[in-house]
Amino acid sequence: MVDEATLRAVISEVLSGLNRAAPPAAAAPAAAPAVRTAPAVVAPRADGRLGVFSDMNAACEAAQGAFVRLQKHGLEGRAKVIEIIKGLCTAKAAEWGPLEFAETKIGRLDHKIEKLQIVKLVPGLEWLRPYALSGDHGITLEEYTPFGVIGAITPVTHSVPTLAGNVVSMVAAGNAVVFNPHPGGARCAAVAVRAFNEAIQAALGIEHLVCTVIEPSLQTFDQMCRSEAVRLLCVTGGPGVVQAAMKSGKRAICAGPGNPPVVVDGTGSLAKAAVDIIKGASYDNNLLCIGEKQVFVLEAYAERFMNELAAAGAAKLTPGQLDRLTGAAFTTARDAGGCSHPVLNRKLVGADAAVLAEQAGTRVGPDVPLLFAETDAEHPFVMEEQMMPMLPIVRVKTFDDAVAGAVRSEHGYRHSAILHSLNVDHMTQMARAVDTTLFIKNGASVAGLGLGGEGYLNYSIATTTGEGIATPRTFTRTRRCVMVDNLRIY
Ligand code: NAD
């Protein structure tokens, strides 16, 4: 466990590091980006206690034992675990958010904290109502039952929130879970895992319901996939890990990559569209997989729309500044066929707008949430899932062109798309063309996760394999129980 004094030191170091990184308002362009100084995060010891292991096979076995014990506690036991996870995420958000920020060094501290505070919105047991049939031949009940142990992969973009959301859904469904977290967020994940198990053990006497390894690697991923105890995989991440999981031979629920396009057709309020787009695209410095990544705007409204973006606080880059930033944000590589393609510079993923501005050869204040620049439709900032608070704006002649650009830049991930329009025909046309899991109209992308729109939250959106936003039902097997010619009461 990290003791309180260490935690306080980490938080104060991170906060002072943030203050140091803030550039003066009207200084000259700087050559190098501001570097975030953050202390190393102290992880719990991988001593095989309370869910934190060095050996993946031992973690999987321990989770199997915990699954058997959870069954004995029934639905009441699951409800208690959910209460514990949600309660800890709320209570510890101000401690764990800075830990995750210090370890991953990406995104925004206030949003790291908020993403933990809202874990309470992830659905629980209420999603597991059985389906019943009653007829001349008796009664049939279909129940949503657990798999056993689930092997889960989490992204560096939201390590503890994804882990916590997964635990709520998976345990609500009666499962135990083993994590192979992203190596860049494995320490804060272990801190949370230990705290969860400590509280679960105190309440139910189960020590290893949530397991993790302290040094995740491709080898531990492989061991997890091969473990006989692991009955199902749940992957939240980019294309590489989705492909690896789908080749593993185990069933995998895959919450894969996105590159959400936005279309602005000018029929609605441009000022509102600008505010909504800034809200979604700047959230945690655009690390969200659902976050607005590129905008297609009809040319008749493009100028006014960009003025509204600036009026709402975003900063526009000149073509020269965009070129400089593009040179820093992407390198070029050749694939096996000799074709060159852009490769994202991971060091700028989730960086502050002020840091990106420095790379572009300019300065913006620390309160500027988002940069934007006009680009063509083939620009790397449009076509790559760049996860930076820098929004490319593409002018198009017609709505058809806008939809075509949206579809092309989304790459068939079928993840998320956003439209600002009052034209119902346009809504229908774009919905059919993009065919995405989430399609948000007239709101920020986060409205698609119940944050400003109707609905519920989770951090795993099973786009690739089609289950949608994860719920407890996602992690169940449907089993049918039949009584022939009996039990019917009329
Ligand atoms: P990433 O793909 O680099 O890593 C995700 C996880 O997979 C990590 O735990 C990593 O260690 C592991 N991994 C990566 N390649 C692997 C391989 N070949 N074999 C085994 N394990 C491997 O992604 P990231 O940078 O951590 O997260 C960002 C990505 O995740 C983006 O593409 C984003 O869209 C996606 N994402 C999707 C959702 C969703 O719900 N659909 C949610 C969050 C993030």
pLDDT tens track for 467-486: 999 999 999 999 999 999 98
Is residue 93 assigned to a domain? yes
Tell me if 182 CB under 6 Å of ligand 1.
Answer: yes
Same domain, yes or no: 39 and 159: yes
Residue to mutate, 106, 187, 224, 236, ligand 1, most ligand atoms under 8 Å from C-beta: 236
Burial class (CB in 10 A: 0-12, 13-18, 19+), 239: middle
* Full domain range(s) for residue 236: 4-256+468-479
**Which residue's CA is the closest to the ligand 1 atom numbered 2?**
238
| CATH number of the domain encompassing residue 374 | 3.40.309.10
Same domain, yes or no: 108 and 241: yes
Binning pLDDT at 50, 70 and 90, where does residue 38 land?
Answer: low
Residue to mutate, 182, 218, 446, ligand 1, most ligand atoms under 8 Å from C-beta: 182
Residue to mutate, 153, 235, 348, ligand 1, most ligand atoms under 8 Å from C-beta: 153
Is residue 205 assigned to a domain? yes
| CATH number of the domain encompassing residue 251 | 3.40.605.10
Is residue 461 assigned to a domain? no
Residue to mutate, 103, 157, 384, ligand 1, most ligand atoms under 8 Å from C-beta: 157
pLDDT at position 339: 87
Same domain, yes or no: 369 and 220: no
Assess whether pLDDT exceeds 80 at residue 40.
no
Same domain, yes or no: 170 and 99: yes
CA dist list (Å): 344 to 18, 300, 380: 24, 32, 9
**Which residue's CA is the closest to the ligand 1 atom numbered 10?**
182
Same domain, yes or no: 231 and 274: no
**DSSP reduced 3-state for 74:** helix
Binning pLDDT at 50, 70 and 90, where does residue 337 land?
Answer: confident
Tell me if 445 CB under 6 Å of ligand 1.
Answer: no
Mean pLDDT of 214-231: 98
Binning pLDDT at 50, 70 and 90, where does residue 39 land?
Answer: low
Tell me if 153 CB under 6 Å of ligand 1.
Answer: yes
Tell me if 157 CB under 6 Å of ligand 1.
Answer: yes
Model confidence over 237-261: pLDDT tens digits? 999 999 999 999 999 999 999 999 9
Binning pLDDT at 50, 70 and 90, where does residue 338 land?
Answer: confident
Same domain, yes or no: 303 and 228: no
Ramachandran angles phi, psi of 231, nearest 5°: -100, -20
**Which residue's CA is the closest to the ligand 1 atom numbered 16?**
241
Tell me if 240 CB under 6 Å of ligand 1.
Answer: yes
Mean pLDDT of 191-209: 98
Tell me if 102 CB under 6 Å of ligand 1.
Answer: no
Model confidence over 366-380: pLDDT tens digits? 999 999 999 999 999
Same domain, yes or no: 389 and 339: yes
Is residue 488 assigned to a domain? no
Same domain, yes or no: 88 and 223: yes
CA of 425 to the centre of ligand 1 (A): 36
Separation between Cα atoms, residue 184 and residue 198, nearest integer Å: 24
Is residue 485 assigned to a domain? no
Residues in contact with 470: Cβ distance below 8 Å, sequence separation at least 6, in sequence order: 165, 166, 169, 234, 253, 255, 458, 460, 461, 462
Same domain, yes or no: 401 and 336: yes
Same domain, yes or no: 200 and 310: no
Q: Are 43 and 205 in contact (CB under 8 A)?
A: no
Q: Is the dihedral of CA 276, 278, 282, 286 positive or negative?
A: positive
Tell me if 135 CB under 6 Å of ligand 1.
Answer: no
Residues in contact with 463: Cβ distance below 8 Å, sequence separation at least 6, in sequence order: 254, 255, 256, 258, 413, 414, 415, 436, 437
Is residue 487 assigned to a domain? no
Separation between Cα atoms, residue 138 and residue 155, nearest integer Å: 47
pLDDT at position 335: 84
Residue type, 391: L
Range of lowest pLDDT (35-39, 104-108, 159-163, 451-455): 35-39
Give the number of domains in the chain: 2
Same domain, yes or no: 288 and 248: no
> Percent of the chain, pLDDT > 90?
88
Burial class (CB in 10 A: 0-12, 13-18, 19+), 405: buried
Model confidence over 389-398: pLDDT tens digits? 999 999 999 9
Mean pLDDT of 85-96: 98
Model confidence over 44-67: pLDDT tens digits? 998 999 999 999 999 999 999 999
Tell me if 396 CB under 6 Å of ligand 1.
Answer: no
pLDDT at position 27: 34
Is residue 460 assigned to a domain? no
CA dist list (Å): 204 to 90, 145, 207: 21, 20, 9
Is residue 463 assigned to a domain? no
Separation between Cα atoms, residue 309 and residue 306, nearest integer Å: 5
Same domain, yes or no: 412 and 438: yes
CA of 154 to the centre of ligand 1 (A): 7
Q: Are 322 and 375 in contact (CB under 8 A)?
A: yes
Q: Mean pLDDT score of the chain, rounded to an integer?
A: 92
Range of lowest pLDDT (17-26, 78-87, 312-321): 17-26
Q: Are 388 and 348 in contact (CB under 8 A)?
A: yes
DSSP, residue by residue, 204-229 = HS-S-SEEEESS--HHHHHHHHH-TT
pLDDT at position 22: 32
pLDDT at position 142: 97
Burial class (CB in 10 A: 0-12, 13-18, 19+), 442: middle
Mean pLDDT of 439-464: 97
Q: Are 239 and 395 in contact (CB under 8 A)?
A: no
Return the bridge partners of 478, or none: 144
CB neighbours of residue 76 within 10 Å: 9
Assess whether pLDDT exceeds 70 at residue 35.
no
Model confidence over 158-187: pLDDT tens digits? 999 999 999 999 999 999 999 999 999 999
CA of 162 to the centre of ligand 1 (A): 11
